[in-house]
Amino acid sequence: MSNRYIVIMAGGNGERFWPESRKALPKQFLSIVGALPMLTQTVKRLEGLVEPKNIFVITGTQHRSVVLDICPELDPEKVIGEPIGRDTAPAVALATSLVVRENPDAVFAMLPADSVIHDHSNFRSILDSAFQLAEQKSVLVTIGIKPTHPATGYGYIQKANEIGTYGGEVAYGVNRFVEKPNLEKANEYLSSGDFYWNAGMFVWSIDSIRGEFEKNSPNLWASISEIGPRLDAGENIEAVLSDIYPGLEKISIDYAIIEKAQNVVVFESKFDWDDVGEWSAIERHYESDASGNAIRGEAEVIESKNNIVFNRDSGHIIALMGVEDLIVVRTKDATLICKKDQSQAVKKMVQSLSKNKENTDYL
pLDDT in tens, 11-26: 998 999 999 999 999 9
The set of residues, in sequence order, having a beta carbon less than 8 Å from that of 348 and lying 6+ positions away, is: none
Domains, in order of start, for the chain = 4-268 (3.90.550.10), 279-362 (no CATH)
CB 224 within 8 A of CB 93: yes
Element (H, E) at 43: helix 38-44
Q: Which residues of the chain have pLDDT under 50?
A: none
* Residue type present at position 32: I
DSSP string, 96-163: HHHHHHH-TT-EEEEEES--B---HHHHHHHHHHHHHHHHHSS-EEEEEEPPSS--SSS-EEEEEEEE
CB 39 within 8 A of CB 113: yes
pLDDT at 344: 86
For residue 46, what are the β-bridge partners?
A: none
CB 246 within 8 A of CB 123: no
CB 291 within 8 A of CB 306: yes
